Structure 1
């Protein structure tokens, strides 16, 4: 992975977005990025509805635009004062938020896009169809979804892997974004055709031998995976655990309490993990900490 040169933080001016703004500024400072950019999108459908309701739509639109520019300027000054960094551009666009965010990120060639997200609880059920969900489906660049108020750089990172190239990129990006953090590489495996083998009357001892053989092979893959990362001694450790990926990841979130989870958008499976019910989507919905998705 190359160093992150440009970061864009998309904001809707909400308290959740302020966490993303702060995290983006903290990363830009600590990683010595070339530039930090702020983007706010005014929804064109909402503007159209306003035109039908307001007797003086042009005047109202102008006031809305001016208010948004003022708020962006305030955010810029706040970040500059607190983190000692310069916000290179503050951009106000009109359109659909997810379309404008993706287009802006590609136009600037940014190394990281940062968005705010709601926390857990019932709000997670609203994820499908949200701006974050739609951005994830279209964006080809790393996306950091911020859920917590940032205080320090990430220190405890959980990276879920399936040993694919996407997983390797995710792990390397984690090392890049937090070079001094401890990284736990997690791989979940299942015994192929387990239910069918049980139904066929395969002996439990034979099943245990089968599982042990799979785990031994997976341990070898994990050791090679970590070795190829070239991390400093003690900064990366690996865990192999049997079970469905989402259940295993959720258990490790509870026991390890990471401040960042890193997942690849696509793995070895041909199935689109960003479809409703996919592992990546469920991790984003359930995690109480920040989530980094590598496309």
Structure 2
């Protein structure tokens, strides 16, 4: 039996939290580009942490932040809302996202550790765990629309949700489905039979995964597949570098009990090691979409 089609419409509202630092420039430019392409409303948010130990004039602080927000984006082609709020950064972002029925949160990441990997940051990780909707982490400059996408898969439901979301949001982009695997112990001992059997099993799982994924007619035939041996970060990073990938789409378990404790280790590692932008898609994001955001 074919699964029910369950496609998102183009996002109607994008949320961009900003702290006015230089690292927010790239996420701002990407959010503007997406809002213009989708005809979406852009909500700009600045959160003031309410520290009672620091004497300040709340109204003056709000007025200054409001003026900065209004000067952040000068674009008459898109609808823009601004909001200044006091409170915990993550909780406030989530509250504003709910208030405006946000479809996508856009944020930035810029710092690297001594090994050259990106540092995900506490607020970004908390958003990834708690938001229950797609989170776009921008690393590169927004020079053009996303054209080359990579969707990672371990054949799970969360990776299925990520693939469907990638197709829904970027229907004109080229998409490659990437799966990394490890050879079992008996194959490492020189037994070619088990290795071949494992590869055949992966091919069957891949076919079953794609056949059970509700995609627009003809889309499946346009999706490239890359199955490679090795650690998932290395396989994904090699593919991104070799194919000039603009965006990696990664599924997470969203609001599951495990995910509330930490962002999945694979998703976290991929966010850190990939040079391209990353879209984190929680498995719960489609189930939690309001009825008017779903086409059945």
Note whether the superposition's TM-score is higher than 0.5: yes
Q: Distance in 1 between matches of 2:21 and 2:166?
A: 27
Q: Distance in 2 between matches of 1:211 and 1:234?
A: 24
* 1:278 paired to 2:282: no
Q: Distance in 2 between matches of 1:219 and 1:137?
A: 27
What does the per-residue CA deviation read over 1:119-142, in whole Å, with 9 as the maximum and x for residues that have no partner?
5454856435x2111111111011
Structure 2 CA distance for partners of 1:273 and 1:21, relative to 1, 3 Å: same
Deviation at 1:198, TM superposition (A): 6.7
Structure 2 counterpart of 1:23: 30
Q: Distance in 1 between matches of 2:65 and 2:177?
A: 42
Deviation at 1:222, TM superposition (A): 5.4
Q: TM-score, normalised by structure 1?
A: 0.81
Q: Distance in 2 between matches of 1:96 and 1:133?
A: 14
- Aligned pairs, number: 273
Deviation at 1:164, TM superposition (A): 2.4
Structure 2 CA distance for partners of 1:115 and 1:69, relative to 1, 3 Å: same
The structure with higher relative contact order (CA 8 Å, sep 6+) is 2
**Match among 231, 238, 252 for residue 251 of structure 1:** 238
Structure 2 gaps, min length 5: 1-6, 283-296
Larger of the two Rg values belongs to structure: 1
Deviation at 1:64, TM superposition (A): 2.6
Q: CA RMSD in A?
A: 2.8
Structure 1 gaps, min length 5: 52-56
Does the 8 Å CA contact 1:273/1:279 hold for their aligned counterparts? Answer: no
- 1:18 is paired with a residue whose SS is helix
Does the 8 Å CA contact 1:260/1:289 hold for their aligned counterparts? Answer: yes
Structure 1 counterpart of 2:101: 109
Does the 8 Å CA contact 1:284/1:291 hold for their aligned counterparts? Answer: yes
- 2:19 is paired with a residue whose SS is coil
Structure 2 counterpart of 1:14: 21
Deviation at 1:205, TM superposition (A): 2.5
**Match among 22, 31, 36 for residue 42 of structure 2:** 36
Deviation at 1:144, TM superposition (A): 0.5
Structure 1 runs of 4+ off > 3 angstroms?
119-126, 225-235, 269-277
Q: Distance in 2 between matches of 1:270 and 1:253?
A: 31
Structure 2 CA distance for partners of 1:113 and 1:261, relative to 1, 3 Å: same
What does the per-residue CA deviation read over 1:93-142, in whole Å, with 9 as the maximum and x for residues that have no partner?
111111111121122221111111115454856435x2111111111011
Structure 1 counterpart of 2:79: 86
What does the per-residue CA deviation read over 1:64-118, in whole Å, with 9 as the maximum and x for residues that have no partner?
3222111011014x2x25xx2120x200011111111112112222111111111
Does the 8 Å CA contact 1:219/1:240 hold for their aligned counterparts? Answer: no
